[in-house]
Homo-oligomer: A and B are copies of this chain.
Amino acid sequence: MPASPLLPSLDSPHRRKGEQTAERILDAAEALFAERGYAGTSLRDVAARVELRIPSLYNHFPSKDALYAAVLARGIGPVLELLAGFAAAPSESRDAGAVIERVMAILRRHRNLPKLIQHETLAGGPRLTPMLREWIAPVFGRAGEMAETAPGAGRWAPEQLPLVVIAVYNVLVGFFTFAPLYQALNGDDLLTDARLDHQTRILREVVAALFPEVPIER
């Protein structure tokens, strides 16, 4: 595996032109897949958005399917790394509240991600499942231990804990995906910085209510 010359950083202008184009394609495709789903997005739309002809896309991705997989991998990678780190950490240094805030921060920065994830979830996660298996497998392997040592272990039975975790996940992701509908209904934009701060604070309180051991810091 040859090292690239002079180690050009990811956003360096010295990168090969092709890689820049590939990234622009990923950006466009991500926005469209998030907004309209896989079936609702055509390569024509993607090509138009990056101001290319359709066949040029095939110089960077071998198929629509592969493009979608690349979008998903790029988008979801950081979250999986974060969660894997959380799962691998020793019990006493596992701070659920902190992890939730960090996920929230990622979703704030990467606004396409929630819709992308939910579209994939609704499709049954055919591409997400293998990725989750690879990264999250350790979590299920240590599920028993984690259930006992997790925050809130005193309050929730081991059987209940996954359901509570799923609930928190849904609150986190659903807030972003529901926001546009909310805005269409009553005009309020929930995704402003101020509102997002608010939501983060509420999330903390809810998590605190669910896991009594997690201290509330403001």
Contacts and interface: CB of A to CB of B under 8 A. Distances in A.
Interface of A: 36-40, 115, 118-119, 121-125, 128-129, 132-133, 136, 140, 159-160, 162-164, 166-167, 169-171, 173-175, 177-178, 180-182, 184-186, 188, 190, 198-199, 202, 206, 209-210
Contacts of A125: 180-181, 184
Contact of A182 (B123, B166, B175, B209): B166
Given A37-B40, A166-B178, 11 more contacts: A36-B39, A36-B123, A37-B122, A38-B40, A118-B122, A125-B180, A129-B181, A136-B185, A159-B198, A164-B202, A167-B175
Q: Looking at chain A's contact residues, is the secondary structure mostly helix, strand, loop, or mixed?
A: helix
A159 B197 CA distance: 12
A174 B170 contact: yes
A84 to B, nearest CB: 14
A129 to B, nearest CB: 5
A185 B129 contact: yes
Given A36-B39, A37-B40, A209-B209, A124 B202 contact: no
Contact of A171 (B129, B167, B186, B188): B167
